[in-house]
Structure 1
Amino acid sequence: MAADRRGTRRTGALTRASVRRRSSGQRPPRPEEEEGEGTTGRLRFAKSPTAWLLGILLAVVTVTFQDVLAASVKTILPLDRVPDRLSPQNAIDVVEVKDVKDIGYYVLLDAEGAGSAADRKLIEEISSGGPWREGRNAVDAGNAEWMITVQGRAAQQVRITDIVPVLEGGRCGKPLGGSLAHFPSQGVMDVIPLELEVDAPRPRLKISGKDAKDAKPFFTGPEAKHITLNQNETEAFIVHATASTGYCRWRYRVHYEVGGSTAEMTISGPGGKPFELTARMTDASGYRRVYFPSFDCLPSGPPTSHDWYEQSGADYARDRRSGKVPPCPKS
């Protein structure tokens, strides 16, 4: 007998196991071959129709379980505590912002080339009842009315807790000059009426009362209210804004709650521009021209709804100094 380098003794004898292996003429499989055979079997199973069917059934069961779980959570938790898939920042849609001032004054900013020909053309446009404001820079004077329609988008109820006017530049400027027009506009729907004195030291939205003195804050104070919106529900409110001292431009910042979170959004005027309102000048002689309908003066003959007149600002102010309705000027 001899010993190898590690001290292991070799007998040179053949065991029964070694004899069986040699007589069969086969060698034991290598580890990598066994792994290859197992991989091939798994691939063959993955490609089988049974495996595809099991995968589809598993996906259906998973989706069904998720839906049942979500429904169960909504029935257990309060509505405003359920997370919403929609971002809180997109929980409200502004459906429409519409000018609904039915009658009042507007300041027409004098364009280059303004004169008697332009004045006559404006009178014709107003008399025809056409959209005379299109393409013309006209600003509400003294008061304005906008109807704002919003819609809830979230699956949970949205609660509007405050709407705050935010003045551009932080304050109002001097009243605008130009020409003054007095005429009717559009009708008004039955909606939530709100008041806003936009050039007040701290402008806030108020609920209309019998007169301006009775108006109370809508969203703040001891009688605070809020506006709620369910999914796809719309609500319209009309803001009657007034200005007595300056020219103001602003947007509204809306504060609301949804799904246990708070968020803000901004409402702009028509066309995405700021809301705009100027106070009327205390002395009408400061306007270049004044345009007014027949019911603003005493006609010499039977009155008609289509008669419009124009005067210089100085003449208009002179005729109204007495406080009485003056005779209509001669055409």
Structure 2
Amino acid sequence: MRKIGIESLKPGMKVARAVYSSDGYILLNAGVVLKDRFIEQLRLFDIASVYVEDGLLPDVEVEDVISEKTRVEAIKTVKDMLCSIKREVNSGRSLLIRGPKLVATVQNIIKDLLSNKKLMVNLVDIRTMDSYTFGHSVNVCVLAVITGMALNLSEAQLVHLGMGAIMHDVGKVLVPDAILNKPGPLNSEEYRVIQRHSEFGYNILSKQPEISSFSAKVALEHHEKFDGSGYPQGLRGDDIHLYSRIVGIADVYDALTADRVYRKGYLPHEAYELLAGAGGSMFDYDLVKVFLSHIAAYPVGTLVRLNTGEIGVVVDTPKGLTTRPVVRVLFKDGILLKDPYEIKLAESTRVLVSEVLSEEEFIKLKNAS
């Protein structure tokens, strides 16, 4: 199973993981063989990439840290919640968030994560362009809770953290769509408007009887930076609540790796390096270390060239050694091997990933061998 950009999809490829619309409906099920009209349909729904099974890795499954059912239901819940809030705000009615449903959603995520023995984030989420906000909210919740678990937070604390994470961007319902969805850079006035979403979100959540002050604070502080350069209050260091510091890291990582209308997402190893470099300045260094210890720099299915010249695909990442994956070597000296072999970079310390290959480069190698 490998993730392939829509521009590289070809008829005859088999879908390895179901593809959903922004409403949570299945567009293509796992096992479907792609046809031209299916690929065109995916383009119309702004699907940027798809997991396919092309025969090279029939035994490799890219596993999500939560179940597909939990993720789909969570995204639908967030979408319904945010759309309902926006309608109520626009109509001038008193706003009441359906707390129990939101709590149940967060508890389902926590339950899945607590039952997962290997919390390594390998799955690069696939979402439609118009569902970015909803998928992003769920991803940030998942990433924040994983980090909270690594810090040995109690289940009650994880709920507060998860609630703040899943609703961290609720204030954007009060930001005009023209600014939120602008394909180019924001001017100074637009940027000031979008910055206010933190205060908007806090004002919304702090008035909800079933949402704690800890969760509401996440909406206010998730753009604060450890060095004091963030907003809206310019808080520094430990003056930023722990939950807000965690969600701030998760928010940036997921935003970096997401495909947007105006740019392609960073590759996971690029986002990993950017975040690692920001530890100690923009972010709490110790929290960044904990966060990245559960993020595969090279997710399963990533095509890589090693410093030895061998070319292969990542098939596993050992816990705690997120930049030292297990690589199944497929090409040596430019020749496709009949009997691939695996190298554990955690044990072969002189062997490094020197480059991540694109699908186009990989196809050229296959055709040339």
Same-fold call, TM cutoff 0.5: no
TM range (shorter): under 0.3
Query: TM-score, structure 2 length as denominator?
Result: 0.24
- Using CA pairs below 8 Å that are at least 6 residues apart, which structure has the higher relative contact order? 1
Q: Considering only CA atoms, is the larger Rg found in Structure 1 or Structure 2?
A: 1
Bigger strand share: 1
Query: TM-score, structure 1 length as denominator?
Result: 0.26
